[in-house]
Amino acid sequence: MTKTLFDEMRSEQNLFAAWRHVKRSALKSANSEIAGQAAEFEHRHQTHLKTIGRQLRESRFVFDGVTGVLKDKRMRLAQKKNPRPIAVASLRNRVVQRAILQVLQPRRARDTRDIDTRYETLRDERLGKINQINVSKYGVGGLIKPYGGVRPAIELINDAVDNGSRFFFQSDIKAFFTKIPTGQVVDFVRRETCDEKLSELFARGLEVNLANKDELATYAKLFPSGGIGVAQGSSLSAFAGNVLLYELDQELNQGGVTAVRYIDDLLMVAPDREALEKAIAHAKERLEAFDFQLYKPSPGSDKAAEGECGPQSINFLGCMLQPKRCVPSAKSVERLNRDVSDMISKSKAAINASITQGKKLPPSQSESFVIQAIGKKVYGWQKSFAFCSETSVFASVDADIQTKVSDYRNWVHKKSKSAPVDVRMVVFGVPQTEHMPIGEHH
């Protein structure tokens, strides 16, 4: 008997692959509680995954309530804006949501010998038109490479500008996550897959049931409810948006207009203003039917912009675009420099406290660890902009990072020069075995 999509979703192999993905981010979480829960889950992952699989098979799996968090509350209220509603899901929720996505968006490892291998999209005839959404040329956020990611979006726009598109319009889609009508998305998945069990679980996986609704008080209304909205950060949210807006993504790419959408960020270019204005009007009309809105461009706005390609640069997905030119945006460069400076600053504070106050130095704040962490961050940043067209910005970034790292290393050696040798070794990142507990049996 052929396995159904639901059967594949609840399989041990798929659940384990889902946990492997969830684990990577959870163990690295800055939230110590989440990282601790992930460590506990990992120690007993076989038991946890078998329990989840059994509950799914017996139709007994129930998603946990989520914790509503008001991100940047103080800052946004000072700006007379509502806090950003973030729903923090349990690990078991995240595993099942990821397992659902892996069936609706099937993939294959490119190199099974590489633990960090990338994946490529597979076609599954049981998914019907969902296969088209998974390889969309115009709605690329949340898709698997080579169809998804920043690079295909940038290359699509660059090609259009290089071939005569002169005018652009870009805007975030206002209230994107909190306004998605999930019923329409679930109905589409049900119709295309003809898998009732999977569709029903998918519907429940999109729900946001707050466990701390009373604590949030009036702010609870900011979170998705009643079949409207999805959780920002959920592995299913981008997929739901792609399903909902797939037809619009295709419609906008007519009459000489090139349009690309990355989750809730829309950019359109056209050879003349008339064609562009027509596309903007169509986008507004279609989006307003879902209770979405586009922002109106205004000077200094980071939500929307419009103008002529060339005289005005386009800042899109961390890149600055001009005819025949694509480089990391000033904000992207500034963010990298700020992150590196923050890493160095935290390490300096910890090292200073260790030398002057005798406080224990966390290994993650030692010189060698921080240098390696900076290296990984810079490497990842460069890889994310590998498609850019010139090296001048990268040379400038290298010079800035070189100065920061050199100053940091000089500071460490000067600060630790008169410290006892065992303290210096710990500062450098070499643990002192004499200070380790001995005689313990594990």
Domain that holds residue 340: 328-428
Residue 385 lies in a domain: yes
| Co-location of 172 and 290 in the same domain | yes
Rg over CA atoms, the chain: 25
Residue 256 lies in a domain: yes
| Co-location of 144 and 212 in the same domain | yes
Task: Examine the fold and report which residue of 308, 326, 344 is the final residue of a domain before the chain moves on.
Answer: 326
Residue 380 lies in a domain: yes
Whole-number Å distance between alpha carbons of 53 and 72: 37
Which CATH number does the domain housing residue 216 bear? 3.30.70.270
| Co-location of 320 and 339 in the same domain | no
Residue 376 lies in a domain: yes
Confirm whether pTM is higher than 0.85: yes
| Co-location of 290 and 338 in the same domain | no
| Co-location of 350 and 317 in the same domain | no
Residue 30 lies in a domain: no
Cis before residue 420, ω within 30 degrees of 0? no
| Co-location of 313 and 339 in the same domain | no
Q: What tokens were used for 93?
A: 């929720």
> How many domains is the chain built from?
2
| Co-location of 300 and 187 in the same domain | yes
Q: Are strands 167-174 and 304-308 parallel, antiparallel or unpaired?
A: antiparallel
pLDDT tens, residue order, the chain (442 aa): 678 999 999 999 999 999 999 999 898 887 888 889 999 999 999 999 999 999 999 999 999 999 998 888 888 888 888 888 889 899 999 999 999 999 999 988 887 777 777 788 999 999 999 999 999 999 999 999 889 989 999 999 999 999 999 999 999 999 899 999 999 999 999 999 999 999 999 999 999 999 999 999 888 998 988 999 999 889 999 999 999 999 999 999 999 999 999 999 999 999 999 999 999 999 999 999 999 999 999 888 889 999 999 888 999 999 999 888 899 999 999 999 999 999 999 999 999 999 999 999 999 999 999 999 999 999 999 999 999 988 899 999 999 999 999 999 999 999 999 999 999 999 999 988 776 665 655 5
| Co-location of 268 and 414 in the same domain | no
| Co-location of 314 and 357 in the same domain | no
Residue 89 lies in a domain: no
Task: Examine the fold and report which residue of 294, 326, 358 is the final residue of a domain before the chain moves on.
Answer: 326
Task: Examine the fold and report which residue of 302, 326, 350 is the final residue of a domain before the chain moves on.
Answer: 326
Residue 314 lies in a domain: yes
| Co-location of 333 and 407 in the same domain | yes
| Co-location of 226 and 346 in the same domain | no
Which residues have a Cβ under 8 Å from the Cβ of 129 and sit 6 or more positions away?
A: 188, 192
Contacts of 400-403 spanning 24+ positions with Cβ under 8 A: 400/337, 401/337, 401/340, 401/374
Nearest CA-CA partner of 275 in 294, 260, 253, 255:
255
Nearest CA-CA partner of 236 in 434, 442, 417, 95:
95
| Co-location of 164 and 284 in the same domain | yes
Nearest CA-CA partner of 166 in 398, 323, 390, 315:
323
Residue 208 lies in a domain: yes
